[in-house]
């Protein structure tokens, strides 16, 4: 079995649960694991980690290519021929703002999503076309080392522009997602997203409209989880911790 250590943002409940319920340990200075699992540490935080732990640079990092903002993730996906809602930094003069919502480059839990009222470029925000005839949202829990990926469906109040938990949205698990073309498509798109972003795992979110068209909207490199999805992450990281180092290298 490979020896794994985990790094994450300070106070991450999900990372703490993973450490408590699997053999993946917290990385401590001087540790020499086979791999370091990066649960959402990016940018200045990741740079600071390596300044404090310079020897950790010699250890393979699982999910080392994260930190891209939500706008860039959508734009890159579109360039890879993955279906996405139209996303812009500013709106053309004759484009109606009513068709768009505003999203932050970096946010969690739907914070900062609002109806667009203007057209000008904004600091750290972007415009995204609102999929008005959405039927539901999907989250694919994607792990490159796992054969079967879990899919969850999220619904909410039609009057809410975001169906996050704080707005009354809720998830339900999809049983046997491979039996339905729309869920198979979402899984295939999630695989493409991991490849485009060069990531090993993440929670990949989609919107599905009434015509069953699937649109990629974002990927989360450090997803929080509740009782419904906790077992998914515990199972995935427990599986990873029981794999040999050579097998992990082939899967990542």
Domain boundaries, the chain: 4-64, 70-220
Q: What is the pLDDT of residue 152?
A: 94
pLDDT at 186 over 60: yes
Q: What is the pLDDT of residue 227?
A: 74
Dist. CA 29–CA 46, nearest whole Å = 14
- How much is the average pLDDT of 197-226? 95
Whole-angstrom CA distances from 198 to 68, 190, 252 are 11, 12, 9
Q: Which residue carries 């039609």 as its tokens? A: 158
pLDDT at 166 over 60: no
Dump pLDDT digits (tens) for 110-132: 778 899 999 999 999 999 999 98
Q: Which of 23-27, 220-224, 233-237 has the lowest mean pLDDT?
A: 220-224
- How much is the average pLDDT of 185-200? 98
Query: What are 223's strand-pairing partners?
Result: none
- How much is the average pLDDT of 237-248? 97
Two tokens, residue 72? 């860039």
Dump pLDDT digits (tens) for 11-42: 999 999 999 999 999 999 999 999 999 999 99
Q: How many residues can be counted in the chain? A: 252
Dist. CA 40–CA 45, nearest whole Å = 10
Dist. CA 47–CA 175, nearest whole Å = 40
Phi, psi of 241 (to 5 degrees): -70, -20
pLDDT at 247 over 80: yes
Higher pLDDT, 112 or 179: 179
> pLDDT tier at 171 (50, 70, 90 boundaries)?
confident
End-to-end CA distance of the chain: 16
Query: What are 171's strand-pairing partners?
Result: 154
100-104 and 114-115 beta bridge pairing: antiparallel
Dist. CA 187–CA 72, nearest whole Å = 21
Radius of gyration for the chain, computed over Cα atoms and rounded to the nearest angstrom = 19
**Considering only the top CATH level, what class is 70-220?**
alpha beta
Q: Which residues contact 89 (CB under 8 A, 6 or more apart)?
A: 71, 121, 122, 126, 127
8 Å CB contact between 113 and 103: yes
């Amino acid at each position: 079995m490979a020896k794994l250590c985990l790094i994450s943002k300070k106070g991450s409940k999900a990372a703490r649960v993973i450490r408590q319920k699997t053999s993946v340990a917290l990385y401590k200075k001087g540790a020499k694991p086979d791999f370091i699992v990066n649960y959402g540490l990016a940018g200045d935080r990741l740079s600071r980690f390596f300044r404090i732990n310079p020897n950790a640079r010699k250890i393979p990092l699982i999910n080392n290519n994260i930190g891209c903002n939500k706008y860039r993730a959508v734009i890159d996906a579109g360039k890879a021929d993955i279906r996405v809602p139209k996303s812009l930094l500013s709106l053309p003069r004759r484009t109606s703002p009513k068709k768009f919502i505003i999203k932050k480059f970096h946010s969690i839990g739907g914070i900062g999503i609002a109806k667009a009222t203007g057209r000008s470029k904004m600091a750290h925000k972007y415009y995204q076309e609102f999929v008005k005839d959405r039927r539901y949202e999907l989250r694919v829990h994607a792990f490159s080392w796992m054969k079967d990926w879990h899919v969850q469906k999220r619904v909410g109040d039609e009057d809410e522009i975001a169906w996050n938990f704080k707005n009354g949205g809720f998830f339900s698990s999809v049983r046997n997602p491979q039996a339905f073309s729309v869920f198979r498509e979402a899984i295939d798109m999630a695989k493409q997203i991991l490849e485009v972003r060069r990531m090993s795992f993440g929670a990949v979110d989609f919107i599905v409209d009434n015509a069953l068209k699937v649109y990629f909207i974002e990927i989360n490199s450090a997803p929080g989880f509740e009782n419904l999805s906790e077992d998914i992450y515990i199972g995935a990281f427990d599986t990873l911790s029981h794999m040999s180092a050579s097998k992990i290298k082939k899967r990542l």
